[in-house]
């Protein structure tokens, strides 16, 4: 199956903004992140960096599947299907107190 992936912020240069990833049927979001990490140099390191900066234990990112935050679904275990669009954004934090 094919899944379209769009990245923004610090991740855009690593992924080239948008790419199509081939996955086995029944693959999860975690499988997608693993595949991108193995194919795109610097992606895994950037995720670790962003996770550390945000103090989170998951990917340290905001991930949308067809416009819906994966935290409202099954998180990293969310199953993907052919034609899905995944958007990956660094988490936003900060601001004046």
Domain boundaries, the chain: 2-90
Q: Would you mind telling me the total number of residues written for the chain in this entry?
A: 97
Answer yes or no: pTM beyond 0.85. no
What digits encode the pLDDT tens for the residues 37-85? 899 988 888 877 766 554 444 556 788 999 999 888 988 899 999 999 9
Q: What is the pLDDT of residue 86?
A: 95
Q: How many CA atoms lie within 13 A of 97 on its CB side?
A: 0
CATH class held by domain 2-90: alpha beta
């Amino acid at each position: 199956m094919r899944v379209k992936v769009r990245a923004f912020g610090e991740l855009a240069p690593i992924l080239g903004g948008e790419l199509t990833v081939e996955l086995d049927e029944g693959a999860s979001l975690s499988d997608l992140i693993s595949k991108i990490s193995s194919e795109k140099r610097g992606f895994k390191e950037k995720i670790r960096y962003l996770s550390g900066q945000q103090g989170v234990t998951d990917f340290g990112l905001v991930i949308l599947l067809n416009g819906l935050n994966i935290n409202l679904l099954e998180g990293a275990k969310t199953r993907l299907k052919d034609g899905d669009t995944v958007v990956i954004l660094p988490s936003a934090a900060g601001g004046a107190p």
